[in-house]
Every structure is written in structure tokens, then in C-alpha cells.
Amino acid sequence: MPTTESAVGSRLKRRGYALSKSRSRTKSDPNFGQFHIYDPFTNFVVDGCGNYGFMMSLKEVNEASKAIERNSRM
């Protein structure tokens, strides 16, 4: 079952995080179509920040959001 950007964003929002997508429109840009997860209250990037900024694909964000959800249940 494919996971959409809005579904992953909603899962993160329930745990107090937010999803941000690169605004790049140039396909040759390393940030094109990439994401990162951040804490909207502190503006701190939780995952997906690297040398070029946004470094996670939607699949990686989905896996990270599931891990965050599992860890927050403990």
C-alpha cells in the first residue's frame, strides 16, 4: 500500500513533529523531492538534514515516522 505525504505528515503531527519538503524545482538539485523531520516548537531538525539540507526520501521518512511512533508508545 503506497504511503502519501499527507499520511506520513499526519502520523508525525500526532507525535509533535512536522514534515518539511524541499522547495527546489530543479531536478538536478540534490534537494529536489527530499524531506526532513523537525520539531515545530524548537525549529530543531530531528532527522533528514545533511550537507545539502533535505536528505530523506518519502520512503525513509515513512520508516522514521513509524520508528518514532513505536518509540513514543514505550
What's the rounded Cα separation, in Å, for the pair 21 and 32? Answer: 9
DSSP, collapsed to helix, strand or coil, labels residue 37 as strand
Q: What is the mean pLDDT of the chain?
A: 86
Residue 48 amino acid letter: G
- Tell if the pTM clears 0.85, that is, is over it: no
**Segment 34-53 mean pLDDT:** 86
**Segment 20-49 mean pLDDT:** 88
Query: Which of 13-17, 22-26, 48-52 shows the lowest mean pLDDT across its residues?
Result: 48-52
Residue 2 confidence (pLDDT) above 60:
no
What's the rounded Cα separation, in Å, for the pair 20 and 31? Answer: 12
